[in-house]
A and B are shown apart, each in its own frame.
Chain A
Amino acid sequence: MSTYGVPGGGPVVHDPMTLPSDDNVNNYTFCVELKGSQWFLQKGKMIAYYGSIDFNGIGHGRLDRLVRTSFHSPLHASDWVVAEGSGKMLLADRAFDVNSYDLDDGNLTIRSGNLLAFQPSLSLKQSIVPGFLTLIGTGKFVAASNGPVVFMEPPIRVDPQALVGWADCPSPCHHYDHGYMAGVMGGLRALTGLGGVSGEEHQFEFVGAGTVLLQSSETLMAEQATGAVPHEPGVPGGGGAPGGHGPQAGAPRLPGQLGDLQRRFGL
């Protein structure tokens, strides 16, 4: 990762020659070099480019083959474009920290709003966990985070809002702080919200071998719709509207809360 500019050094001026190739320009900008190759990128994340680069929405006939091999989330395709041509392209997202990651025949699941761009050698799929996308294969991708990303080894429990993604972990699951929810006082708290909540009754738990990616603040990035999954039995999130069930859908529903009643009455 590049460092912040030297204080008092003035702005750094780049030209097509000095711009890095497939690397960070600074903490907030990433430069992609295209040599007749293609990159997938989320709409609106390109801030500038040198050279001749075409941006095509996915769904054009010409890109059908590419989409077939590396984009497996058809209903989500309208949020992505394919850049092709030759030149250098700068990516950024609202001054969030941007970083690139290399996958070597690996897999990584990431919150849909955090993914900015990826090489077509990776294939993008919707994760079983709603609101997350999984990248499988070999290649480079670019992701944004609020504050630098911290890598942690499981076993670890993570605040839902601080989770950016995970690699290789077989067991992302919910963890509820039972001690706090149990008992008369716990029930009262859950029902009324009186006595305060610590905001930490619910975490995501990861065990096993792998890496968990955390962002250093609890401010989420805007969620990107991941497309709908088919309405089939056994498909998580298949019954509801897309995005409605995501871990980002506000506070987790705790036992005894009024939300349960509402659901029971079909409201």
Chain B
Amino acid sequence: MPFREINSKMIEATVAPGQRLFSQRGAMLAYRGEVSFTPNTQGGQGGLVSMIGRRVANEATPLMTVEGSGTVLFGHGGHHVQVIALTGDTLYVEADRLLAFDGTLQQGTMFMGSQGGVMGMVRGQVTGQGLFTTTLKGHGSVAVMAHGGVIEVPITPQRPVHVDPQAYVAHHGDVRNKLSTALGWRDMVGRGSGEAFQLELSGSGVVYVQASEEKL
């Protein structure tokens, strides 16, 4: 586990030779030892094709590669940080929420429409994810930023979880999500409850929810 939580807004990462990390550009707070920070124009792993894919998908967040030997402190914008350990499953998260992640994780881009077709695209619009989202797959840790504290809500097959799209942060596991609407005539006349759209996640896995409806 390369990330250690120092407090709710700061993590400490250990880098060793031959092992690298990716982090959001400018998110380094302090470091010890000989560590180098190289801007990563490709916005992450993979070759040119992945880079173009990310650019097109607007998931190309400015990343930098962290290499060397030492310890690095990361934090950004006063946002709360949640460290998520992945053991072989896939994490779905918006690229701009990524604070830092293991170089061993496989980074990819997913089209929202591939989960639920048109409804998936609508869902992407409502959650602010856009049409694409970033996936990280493999064994390793990811530090994800959120506004306000993060709550981890487990999803079990019997118990689907409904999440406010604005408070949704990330999820991993074997999870299907769909947008459930509760639009009524009140919403049409502007007297809605403000909770007309919810994200329904079912299957088995974990969803992370932030204690705020503010986007990053």
Contact = CB atoms under 8 A, between A and B. Distances in A.
Interface of A: 146-148, 150, 152, 155-159, 162, 177, 179-180, 195-201, 203, 212, 214, 216-219
A159 B30 CA distance: 6
Q: Classify the secondary structure of B's interface with A.
A: strand
B31 A157 contact: yes
Interface of B: 6-10, 25-32, 36-41, 62, 64, 73, 75-79
B76 A198 contact: no
A198 B32 contact: no
A198 B64 contact: yes
Contacts of A199: 25-26, 28, 64
A132 to B, nearest CB: 17
Given A150-B6, A195-B39, A200-B37, A218 B62 contact: no
Given A156-B32, A157-B30, A159-B28, A216 B10 contact: yes
A92 B135 CA distance: 41
B74 to A, nearest CB: 9
Contacts of B29: 158-159, 162, 214, 216-218
Contacts of B64: 198-200
Nearest to A96: B78
A216 B41 CA distance: 26
Contacts of B38: 180, 198
Contacts of A157: 30-32
B30 A196 contact: no
A118 B168 CA distance: 42
Given A156-B30, A158-B30, A196 B25 contact: yes
B9 A216 contact: yes
Tell me which of B6, B40, B73 has the highest count of chain A C-beta atoms within 10 A of its own C-beta.
B73
B26 A218 contact: yes
Contacts of A150: 6-7, 10, 73
28 contacts: A147-B8, A148-B10, A150-B7, A150-B73, A152-B73, A155-B32, A158-B30, A159-B29, A159-B30, A162-B73, A162-B75, A177-B36, A179-B36, A196-B62, A197-B39, A198-B64, A199-B28, A200-B25, A200-B26, A200-B37, A203-B30, A203-B31, A214-B29, A216-B29, A217-B75, A217-B78, A218-B26, A218-B76
